Structures are given as C-alpha cells and as structure tokens.
Chain A
Amino acid sequence: MLKENEIKVGDTHTAVLVEDLKRTQIVQYAGASGDYNPLHTDEIFTTQVAGYPSVFAHGMLSMGLTGTMLTDYVGDGALKKYGVRFTNQVWPGDTLTGKATIIEIREEDGSKVIDLMIETTNQNDIAVITGSATATIEA
C-alpha cells in the first residue's frame, strides 16, 4: 500500500502492459472470462460478417491489463473504485502503455485515499482507455 508521506499530487506510475498483443492472449482472456464473442477470436466471422479488419481485444482485456498496472502501484486490496471508458479498439499487434496519475489525496470514511486519473495508450499514442480510480493509502 502507498504511504501518504511518500506520495504527492502529480505523481505518476507508468508500465508497458503488453507488447505486440497476440491473438492467443485474446483467446486466453476469452477462456478465462467466459466472453466468447467471435469478434475477439474468430477472424473469419469478424472480417466477413461483422465487417472489421480483424479480430480485436475485449474492452475488458484492456481494462484488466490496465488493472494490473494499477494494483502493482497501489497494492493488493487497496482499490475502492476503478472505472474506465473504452475510447478506441485494441488490435492484435498493439503495444499498450498504462499510466496512473495522482490527482487528489483526501479523506474518505475516516481513512486516507487517493484519486487517480488513468490512461492507456497504444503504440500510436492514441488513448484506448481513459478512466479513474480511488485507492486506500496508509496515513
């Protein structure tokens, strides 16, 4: 867990979430999450029926990858809130970088918390996820 005297507003944490995203990782996520939408794993359906250039990642895979960056930063069991918007699709071959920025340090229900702004971008610097989180810290 982060300690109040070791952080300040404006601090950032950045991590590469995935490099050259493989179709197999999307399949892994489909199997683990139970979301077998063919848009994510079935190239023939996705290109010929749905009209997309290729399969693409579940939004929730991007949110999960971003969540890994987030919990690595704030610690286990510290998250109180985590929310995102899916702003662009993530394709096989993409490299994603996640960033969390502390925007406020405050009190909530008698404990210290931080509010974070979250952004995950692809190799072209286009945001694929924007969001926010709140985490408990040690006073």
Chain B
Amino acid sequence: MAIDKFLVEASHIMMFARSVGDANPIYHDEDYAKKTDLGGIIAPPTFAQSSAQFDPDYFLRPKIGGEGWFGSGKEASGAKPSKDSGGSGGGAAMGLHAEQHFEYHKPVKAGDILTATTKPGNSWEKESKRAGKLKFNESVTEYRNQDGELVITATGVGVQTERAVDS
C-alpha cells in the first residue's frame, strides 16, 4: 500500500474522535486547541488508521462502479472478495487484526498532508484451539508530513484463521 495524499482535516478528526467516544475539545474546537501548547487541532492516537480513506485500492470499501461487493444485498453475499483481499470475509477462512503498534515521532495536526508507504514485515504460524491454524503477517507503515518528516510508524499484524474464531 502506498498513499500519496492523506489530507488530515478537522472535520474528519471530529468524526473519528466521536466514533471512539472521545469528547476532548482538542479534536473539535479550534478556539480551544489554539490556546494549548499544541497550537491547534491534533489527531487522536489511532487516527492514522483512517488513511484507508485515501488508499484508492483499499479492499474493504465498496468501489464506485467497480467489482461486486461481498457484503449482503439481496443475497447474504454479494460476491467473493478479490484475491488480494487476503481472504478477508470469504467464508470461514478470514483475516482478522491481531496486533497494532504506533510510534509517534511528531504530533499530527489538522492541515497536515501525509504520505504513507507500507513494507511487509515478519510472518509466522501458530496452532490455536479456538480457530485452527493461524498465519500471521506483519506490515510496517511510515507516515510522513508535508515537510518530509516522519510523524508515525505503524506496525500492524494480521492473522488468517482456518475457521471462524470460537467465542
């Protein structure tokens, strides 16, 4: 994945903060935020995840005029997910998020324009009682701002399970 232009906008930050139950005015009140040491609206710690909105090929978003979407329509499944989706949603064998790690180098602020580049990391396998064979894959994403400064390093670990996880 590579994202050329991740526009960090105040209204997006507001909506994201609402969705994670965060009423902190630093995420929605410009007048308040200006008076803090940070000098303006900043992004909450997990906001970088919403860079998916700016990835033109992100596979977990229905595409306009594109191939079928695998969620329900008239039938329970609209279509099979494409191969590069890593099997997510394709019946019982699916991808889940196992771990997520962020390193913060500089605050991300409303008005920033970020780029993101992702590289694959380690991969490993494990047996589990609750979901059969597990295949883990790590990916490392570096977010840089408009001045080329590294602002966030995000490491995600995805897991492919053999079957739906027993709860």
Q: What residues make up the interface of A, taking CB atoms closer than 8 Å to B?
A: 17-18, 25, 28-29, 31-39, 42, 44-45, 48-53, 58-61, 63-65, 67-68, 70-72, 76-77, 79-86, 88-89, 91
B103 CB–A CB distance under 8 Å:
yes
B146 CB–A CB distance under 8 Å:
no
Within the assembled complex, what's the spacing in Å between the Cα atoms of A83 and B71? Answer: 30
For A52, what are the chain B residues with a Cβ–Cβ distance below 8 Å?
A: 164-165
Within the assembled complex, what's the spacing in Å between the Cα atoms of A98 and B46? Answer: 16
Contact yes or no, A34 B53, CB < 8 A: yes
Q: What residues make up the interface of B, taking CB atoms closer than 8 Å to A?
A: 12, 15-16, 18-22, 24, 26, 36-38, 42, 44-46, 49-50, 52-53, 58, 60-62, 70-72, 76-77, 88-89, 91-92, 94, 96-104, 107, 155, 163-165, 167
Question: A32-B19, A33-B19, A33-B50 provided; 4 other pairs, C-beta below 8 A?
Answer: A25-B21, A48-B76, A65-B20, A76-B26
Query: Which B residue sits closest to A72, measured CB to CB?
Result: B24
Contact yes or no, A39 B89, CB < 8 A: yes
What total of A-B pairs shows CB separation below 8 Å?
Answer: 155
Contact yes or no, B52 A71, CB < 8 A: no
Query: Which B residue sits closest to A53, measured CB to CB?
Result: B167
Contact yes or no, B60 A44, CB < 8 A: no
Query: Which B residue sits closest to A39, measured CB to CB?
Result: B89
CB distance from A27 to the nearest CB of B (A): 9
**Residues of B contacting A: mostly:** loop
CB distance from A139 to the nearest CB of B (A): 16
Whether A35 touches B52, Cβ cut-off 8 Å, given contacts A50-B164, A51-B92, A76-B26, is yes
Whether A18 touches B21, Cβ cut-off 8 Å, given contacts A33-B16, A49-B76, A50-B89, is yes
Whether A84 touches B99, Cβ cut-off 8 Å, given contacts A31-B15, A31-B19, A32-B18, is yes
CB distance from B109 to the nearest CB of A (A): 10
Q: Interface centre among A38, A52, A67, by most B CB within 10 Å?
A: A38
Contact yes or no, A81 B61, CB < 8 A: no
Name the contact of A64 in the complex, choosing from B15, B44, B101 (C-beta under 8 A).
B44
Contact yes or no, B104 A79, CB < 8 A: yes
Contact yes or no, B60 A82, CB < 8 A: no
CB distance from B135 to the nearest CB of A (A): 16
